[in-house]
Amino acid sequence: MLATGLIDELPHLEGLGRVWGRDLHICPCFDGHEVRDKRFVVFGVPERLVHLGSWLSMWSPRVTVVTKQSLNPAGADRLGVLGIEVVRDEVKGLIHQDNQLVAVSTESGAQIPCDAAWIATGLRAASGLAASLCDVDEAGFATTDEHGRTSRPGVFAVGNATNPIAHLAHAAAAGTDVGPWVTTYLLDLLLSEKRTATA
């Protein structure tokens, strides 16, 4: 049973260590309520910015997405309808005063005031174990069926070893779902061995 987790790929940003896990967040479902109605800046992996920015509009009407990358027309329209400003720049640092995040600095030299920052991180498997045992996707996550079975008989995967957006509750639930299939697999092996021994 693979339960090796994932790694958030964080960029090298000045001041990141002081705010990671406090003023710099990755999921509004975890932290949105605590900072609701404040000024948000969203940046990171371009292909995830529309989704994250849109979600954050449920917690605050003051959301700014910062990216130099072009957004697809549907994504740009979505952000526009939600009143989310898009700044064509790149976040380079996080600015603090009195141990609080107050702004992000950008590649162009601008400072964008904010009370909380949200980053769409790159995600990759925390271990190469799955790749050495079974089929994986481009980020190293095991590919499975609905019962956690991988391409290799006897190898199962749960949680972030196979689903990069699963939370802890999902991983625990996957364990309770996949566990009986592992037991059934082991029982079938035992029965096969017994039949072979008595043949």
pLDDT computed for residue 63 by the predictor: 97
pLDDT computed for residue 136 by the predictor: 97
Give the architecture (CATH level 2) of 7-122.
3-Layer(bba) Sandwich (3.50)
d(CA 82, CA 66): 15
d(CA 173, CA 27): 20
Cβ atoms of residues 149 and 74 within 8 Å: no
* Global confidence as pTM: 0.81
CATH 3.50.50.60 in the chain, residue ranges? 7-122
The per-residue pLDDT for range 82-123, each reduced to its tens digit, is 999 999 999 999 998 888 899 999 999 999 999 999 999 989
Give the rounded distance of the alpha carbon of 196 from its chain centre: 46
d(CA 163, CA 129): 15
Q: Per-10-residue mean pLDDT for the chain, 199 residues long?
A: 91 82 87 93 94 96 96 94 96 90 95 95 93 95 96 96 88 90 94 87
pLDDT computed for residue 197 by the predictor: 87
Beta-carbon count within 10 A of 159 CB: 24
Distance separating the N- and C-terminal Cα atoms of the chain: 31
d(CA 27, CA 39): 16
- What does DSSP say about strands 116-120 and 111-113: parallel, antiparallel, or unpaired? unpaired
Give the burial string for 64-79 (b: 16+ CB within 10 Å, else e): bbbbeeebeeebeebb
Burial-class residue 180 by CB neighbours within 10 Å (0-12, 13-18, 19+).
exposed
Beta strands (DSSP E) in the chain are 6-9, 24-25, 40-44, 63-66, 85-87, 91-97, 100-106, 111-113, 116-120, 122-125
